[in-house]
């Protein structure tokens, strides 16, 4: 990882619920009280998703807690936030989302050189049997590593 990056929040359920096909980095248009809350680590991506409407991309349902010191100039915790992407990237995401079973999920929010960035991924939903298979593979790998370390 680059030394100028500080991970603030991550969506740990995303890799369990989806096959992550491609990842992109996007900036986020924020208000002053929102960036201060993010720097304090008060953001949740649990129910968040990305909506693309042809020419713009929006981060929906991400919860950024209110910043107490901002008083009456505070923000709405779950308001839609515009993602800052190039036109080609937005067009690519729009084409991908129109396919059946494909969505865009936020993976993590981090500070890169003082600016809030969000890593998003084009993802395809997993079925229940896919999730079980992933868990079985992970458990098998864990057992192999355990046996390997016991022999050392």
Second-level CATH architecture of 5-125 = Beta Barrel (2.40)
Pull the structure tokens for residue 141: 């790998």
Question: Looking at the DSSP assignment, which residues form a beta bridge with residue 9?
Answer: 109
Instruction: Decide: 117 and 27 in contact? Cβ < 8 Å.
Output: yes
- Within 10 angstroms of residue 150's Cβ, the number of other Cβ atoms is 7
Q: Alpha-carbon torsion 72, 76, 80, 82, what sign? A: positive
Can you give the pLDDT at residue 59?
92
Hunting for tokens 């939903």 — which residue is that?
Answer: 125
Q: What is the pLDDT along the chain (152 residues), one digit of tens a residue?
A: 456 788 998 998 888 888 899 999 999 998 888 888 888 888 989 889 999 987 899 999 988 888 777 666 677 778 899 999 999 999 999 999 988 889 999 999 999 988 999 999 999 988 887 888 888 888 888 988 888 887 76
Can you give the pLDDT at residue 116?
92
Can you give the pLDDT at residue 1?
47
Pull the structure tokens for residue 131: 């999730």
Question: Looking at the DSSP assignment, which residues form a beta bridge with residue 104?
Answer: 122
Q: Rounded to whole angstroms, how far apart are CA atoms 45 and 14?
A: 10
Can you give the pLDDT at residue 122?
93
Q: Where are the beta strands (DSSP E) in the chain?
A: 5-10, 18-28, 43-44, 49-52, 57-60, 63-64, 81-84, 102-112, 115-125
Specify the pTM. 0.76
Angle at 48 between CA 33 and CA 9, to 5 degrees: 60
- CB neighbours of 76 closer than 8 A, spacing ≥ 6? none
Question: Looking at the DSSP assignment, which residues form a beta bridge with residue 146?
Answer: none
């Amino acid at each position: 990882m680059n030394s100028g990056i500080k991970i603030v929040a991550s969506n740990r359920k995303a890799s369990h619920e989806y096959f992550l096909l491609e990842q992109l980095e996007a900036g986020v248009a924020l208000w002053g009280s929102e960036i201060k809350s993010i720097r304090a680590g008060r953001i949740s991506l649990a129910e968040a998703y990305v909506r693309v409407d042809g020419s713009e991309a929006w981060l929906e349902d991400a919860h950024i807690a209110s910043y107490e010191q901002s008083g009456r100039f505070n923000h709405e915790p779950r308001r839609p936030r515009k993602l800052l992407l190039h036109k080609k990237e937005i067009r690519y995401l729009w084409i991908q989302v129109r396919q059946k079973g494909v969505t865009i999920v936020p993976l993590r929010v981090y500070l890169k050189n003082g600016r809030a960035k969000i890593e998003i991924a084009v993802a395809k939903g997993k079925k229940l049997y896919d999730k079980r298979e992933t868990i079985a593979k992970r458990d098998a790998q864990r057992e192999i590593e355990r046996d390997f370390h016991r022999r050392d």
